[in-house]
Every structure is written in structure tokens, then in C-alpha cells.
Amino acid sequence: MNALRGTGVGSRLAALLILLGGATVPASAQTSSLHPEVTLRNARGEVVAGPGAAVSARATCGECHDVDFITTHATHGPEAFAEPAVDGLPRGLAVPGGAPGSTPDEVDCLACHLPTDRTGFDAGLLRPTRTENCLACHDLDGIVDDRRLSDSDLNLTGKTTLTRSADVHAERLVECADCHRSSNDPVFAPATNPAEVPAGLLFDPRRIEPGAWLHRPDHRLAGTADAALACTDCHDPAPSHTWLPYAERHGQALTCQACHIPVVYTPRVETVDWTVLDDEGQPALTWRGCDGPCDDDPARLLTGWTPALLAEAGADGRTRLAPYELIAAWRWVDEGGADVPLAAVRRASAGASDRASVGRALAAAGVRGPRVDGRLDARPVHHGTAPSEWATRECTACHESDSRLAGTVVLSGPDPELPAPVLASDDDRLALAGTLARDAAGRVVYRTDPASVGVHVLGHHRAGWADRFGVAALLATLLGVAVHAGLRWRARRRGVTPAAHAAPRVYMYTVYERLWHWLQAGALMVLLWTGLEIHAGWPGVASFAVAVRMHNVMAWIVVANALLAAFYHLASGDIRQFLPEPKGFFAKAAVQARYYLWGIFRGDPHPFARTPEQKLNPLQQITYLGILNVLLPLQVLTGIAMWGAQRWPAVDGLLGGLAILAPIHALAAWLFAASLLMHVYLTTTGPTPTAHIQAMVAGWDGGEVPDGEPAA
């Protein structure tokens, strides 16, 4: 692993120049059926005359290729090769926590276009870039690997069980350059300006001529900051994600890598402290993914690590959570915020025992106001892709309170002198999806919180105020029911019984009314249960995915049942029994309230007779009026908006998204639960505790009339 061996970019380039300088193959013999004859030249453009002469890739390749164009249109421009390299750090386009005062070097074309195991120069070896060239600089050993993890050289925890490929693309022989291709590669890029393509044209066959492309190949590679690259450029996620509820919605909130790279198994640098250098002038490093320090023992047990999730704005304008490697670095800056040169820090660190003494030495050397500055380097995690069966598939990985979305990434040890690092990125498309803070141990940590970037996750985020208010309403109802039931039980113990007269049996509820009632009751109970599973993961009987599907099915049953009931009551005229008469309503409501609060404990009869035409008393009428005209529509509309979030994202956004809809929906559910509790309790206030329930089962009611009124 390069992370353990620590071979530098500079040493590779130096070795390359030595090899090129020592080439003894005559120019006339350097021919190839693929590449024309190449004349080796030095930086002054002179033909290399003998062994030991340095070869300039710019002068050599520039005879045929527009090197100026390539240099100014290159991801691997001069700034990509920074010296001095720091031993032990993973290699990439720049040193993590970059070495202060680094000096750019010349871009070397041959570093990418010759085999890495060459022993000399031969034009016949010139070729397009291969993965081995990329791995010579990029520390992806053990990540971009066509072997299974169980067969790799890594000393992994549970290695025998890791039968997945290290990277599914490498396993299927996809080269780095297959994805990270030239921006104007004629295989993919049309020759015309996209703005000039006629409307309705799905494919433009016009391409740049191969000769023109070879003269000016654009080296701004796809999949870098220079050119966008998305998984959907090659993959259609729909056919393989039918198992995933709301697959489109997930794709709108997450990058593919967030699930398909759940764990990185190779060790990576966690922190780089440039403030106190060792005797060799190197910074102090800490690592993640190891059982202890892993820069000094290649056999160290590797535990793997979970990437942090950051907010990344895509080309479509959507912000998605994406996996990133976070590297915290601390360095000295002057009072103006400019980096103190590394050479000065090395001199100040010589013989210094701590950070304060280094600061004093820098001040004595003329650095004005030296202070420690912290920066956070965020590197996207795009490699080490797991096959679908090894990707994150459990809903609880995100949809519960204690999930990956509440994860903490350690960025420093318990050192109070180190300031919290600031995200060092000039890319306004990237932002932290959480906060930087110190934990109880004094360590700087990154706490993931998707809500900070407007991503609301059901089951992970609570409804806050809605939950508090709703639970309070439910508990208040439960307390009221308990007190009222206790007083009724006490009255019965004293011999008080309802004073209703016997009445003839009345056919109170039709077959349709009873079927509607019990279907609606059952669906509402399932809705409340599955809603709790989704919202809070309680009682844990069903998985999140099953709960979501059941919830949606039951919701549509309730909606259909409610529409059928509305039609039935409107067509039959029974809707009138739900509408309170304005005249005398408050007086009747007061009579009914007095009965519930006083008369029922004395054995007084019900003040209003129940008949097939008037089944509800005034308090029930006003309650149902509120439920049917406010609570039910609110619940249905917010539920449909949440269900249709991936189908109608514009509507979802107009209503405030899940962050607004979910709390309102949860509050309505709590109020429904409270009203259902009250409804069930009130069914026990008949002549016997089960009389009303029996009537709803059989349809027949024994009747209950106040004193002095004939039975219906």
C-alpha cells in the first residue's frame, strides 16, 4: 500500500528523468506501428546526444502535440505536482493538508503515457494512460483492485468474510481512463457547441477529427473539478432499484456512492499537524481505519472507516449527501493569514519542545503575529465501489435516530490549543452537512446533521414541537379518560346505574355503515402503528421498508373509504346528522357536557335519544365536524404531498418540503390518536359498557331514551 510505503511523486519523476536521460536507443530505431518516430529533446529543444542528458517531455512531445493548450487545459497541470512531498502521506493531486511553500514542477507527459515498469524509452511503448499509471501517484492501492478483499494483501478485520470485490469497476476491467476521459474525446463529445445544437436533436453524430483531437487533446478529465461525471452517465438505476421504496427520491437526496461505498478498507490520514515538526522536518500524523498507528507497520490490522457525508450540489442544481474523506491540517500563518514558509517552521521546530516555543521562535525570526490556523480538506470518495449486494440496503442505516446520519468523525485529538478547522474549499457547490465542535473529551469532531442543509430524513429527524404538542394532547386525553373512568367505576361501586328506560330494538346501523366503520377503524389502527414505526422506529415489529409500504396502502384505503362514505351520506341525506343545528346548539352542547361531567356519575339518563336518523349528540357533531373538515383533510393532503415528493418535487418544494410537511403530518396523527382514544372510551357510556360496540357489530341497538320520552 502506498499509504504505508510512502514513495514520493518527486522521486518517481526524478527516476523517470534519469531513465530518459540514460536512453541509448537511436532515434531512428524508436519507431512503432501506433506512434511515429520520436526525437528526444532537452528543455532547450536540443536533441539528446548521449546518456545522462535530461529529457524534457514538453520539448519532446511538443513537436506534434500542442503542449501549451494541453498544459492550460489539464487536470494534472504543473500545480498538481507539489514538492516537497511528505513521507508517509497518501499521494494524490496534492499533499493532504498541503506542505506550506510547495513548488510546482513541470508536467511530465511520459509519466502517464509509458508503462511504469519500463527500463528505458521506446516510442513503441507510448500508449493511452492505464490504471497502473494512475496508481503510481494516486494512493488507491487496495481500493482500485480487481481482486476480492478476501484475496487482497490487506490485513483486514473479518477478512475471510469479505468476499466482495475491492472495486466492482476494477473487477470488471474498467480502466481509470474509461471514466476519467478527455473532455473532448471524440467518442463522447460532439464537435459542435451545445448551444448550437438544434432543438429536438437527441444525438449529434458530428465529432472532432481524430488528428485534430490528437493535436489538442483536452486533458481536463471527466470526474474532476474540471468536468462533471455522474454514475448515471453509464447506469440507469431504475431497473436495479425496484426493491427500494421511493428510489427516485433517494436519488434526489443521495449520490450513488453514499450507499455503494459504505466502508473504505484502506487506512487514510486523519490529521496533519505542521505546527511542531519532528527531527526530519515532517508533521505529526494520525490515521483512521487502523487498529493503532498504521504508518509504521504494514501488517497492522485494518478496521476500515465510514466516509463522512457532506452536501454536494450536482449539475442539476440539487443538493445531495455524498461521501467524503476529511483531513484536518494545522499550520502556522502570520497576522495577515498567509502561510509561514515551511523552511521557517522547520528552523523554528529545531530543538523546540512544544507549539508555544515554535511560535516564539517564529516571532523572533521576524514572522508578525504567528498563529495556528486549521483547515479541513474534503476529498470525494469515488472508488472502492461495492457490488449491489454489498451496498447499503438496510433502511435503518439512515432512517433511525442513531444512524449514519448522526455519525461523528473525529478530526483531532484532545488538544485545546488547536482551533477548529475551517473547510478549505473554493467550490461553492460543497458544504458541510453538519457542524464542527468539540466533544466531551476535547476532540474536534464533525457531527453529521442533514437538516442543516435542508435534508429531512423520515425516521431520523423527529418532529420536535409537533411531537411535544401531540404527545401532550394524547397524554392529556389519556389522563382525562382515566380520571373519568375511575369516577364512573366508583359510582358503580356505590350502586349508581344508568337511568335509561328499556326501549325496543332499533336497526341503528346498516351493513354498509358497519363495514365502513370497521374497515376504517382497522386501517386507522394500522396507519398509527406503521406511522410510529416510520417516525420513531417503535415498537420495531416491522422493518422501515415494510412499514412504509403498509402505511401507503392503508392510507389509500382510508382515503377511498372516506370518499365512498362522503358519497353515501350525501346521496342518502344522512350527511345532515353530522351537521349541528345552529339554533339552540350551544344550549344543547352545554346540556350534553353537563351530563358527561356530572350527570353520568349520578345515574342520570342520556339527555338526547339516539335514533337511526340522529345518532350523534351535539358534542359528537361538533367533534366530527372538526375531524372531517380540518383534521382529516390536513392529514390526507400532507400525506399525499409526502407520498408524491418524488413524483411532484415542485409541489413538495412549494409546501416547504419534508421538513415542514412531516411535523404537520405527525401532529395530525397524534391528534387522530387522541380523538380515537376518546371515541373508543365514549362507546362505553351506553346502558352497558359494550352496548354501543355490540350495536356496531350486529346493527341492532336496544335504544336509550331519557325519562318521560317514548322509545323510538
Nearest 5°: the CA angle 212, 216, 221 is 125
Least confident of 12-21, 188-197, 573-582: 12-21
List helix spans (H) across 422-510. Answer: 465-493
What does the block give as the cell for 407? 455519525
- Nearest CA among 187, 37, 40 for reference residue 109: 40
Looking at per-residue pLDDT, the higher value among 300 and 339 belongs to: 339
pLDDT recorded at residue 555: 96
pLDDT tens readout for residues 168-199: 999 999 999 999 999 899 888 877 777 777 78
- List pLDDT tens digits, range 206-260: 888 888 999 999 999 988 876 778 898 899 999 999 988 889 889 989 999 999 9
For residue 539, cis peptide bond before it (omega within 30 degrees of 0): yes
Residues near 89 by beta carbon (within 8 Å), at least 6 away in sequence = 6, 95, 96, 269, 272, 285
Least confident of 130-144, 532-546, 554-568: 130-144
The pTM (predicted TM-score) of the whole model is 0.80
Whether residue 19 is predicted with pLDDT greater than 70 in this model: the reply is no
| pLDDT for the residue numbered 548 | 92
| pLDDT (average), residues 152-176 | 93
Q: What pLDDT was estimated at residue 8?
A: 34
**Nearest by Cα to 416 from 434, 441, 448:** 441
The residue-averaged pLDDT of 333-341 equals: 93
pLDDT given for residue 505 in this prediction: 81
CB 458 within 8 A of CB 669: no
Beta-carbon contacts of 29 under 8 Å, excluding residues fewer than 6 positions away, are none
**Rg value, the chain, Cα:** 37
pLDDT at 27: 37
> What's the confidence (pLDDT) of residue 648?
85
The span from the CA of 152 to the CA of 641, in Å, is 48
Q: How far apart are CA 510 and CA 513, in angstroms?
A: 5
What distance in Å separates the CA atoms of residue 395 and residue 422, rounded to the nearest whole number?
32
How many of the other CB atoms lie within 10 Å of CB of 632? 17
354-377 pLDDT, tens digit per residue, is 999 999 999 999 999 999 999 999
Largest CA-CA distance found in the chain, in angstroms, rounded: 128
Dig out the grid coordinates for 194 from the structure.
Answer: 451545445
User: Which residue in this structure is represented by grid cell 504508518?
Assistant: 295
- Mean confidence (pLDDT) of the chain: 84
Average pLDDT over residues 320-328: 94
74-133 pLDDT, tens digit per residue, is 888 665 544 333 323 333 333 333 434 333 345 567 778 888 876 666 677 788 889 998
Q: How far apart are CA 367 and CA 331, in angstroms?
A: 14
pLDDT band at 13 (very low <50, low <70, confident <90, very high): very low
Write the CB contacts of 88 (distance below 8 Å, at least 6 apart in sequence): 6, 282, 285, 295
Q: 277 falls in which pLDDT band (50, 70, 90)?
A: very high
620 grid coordinates: 359528537
Backbone angles phi, psi at 227, to 5 degrees: -155, 135
Assigned C-alpha cell, 563: 370518499
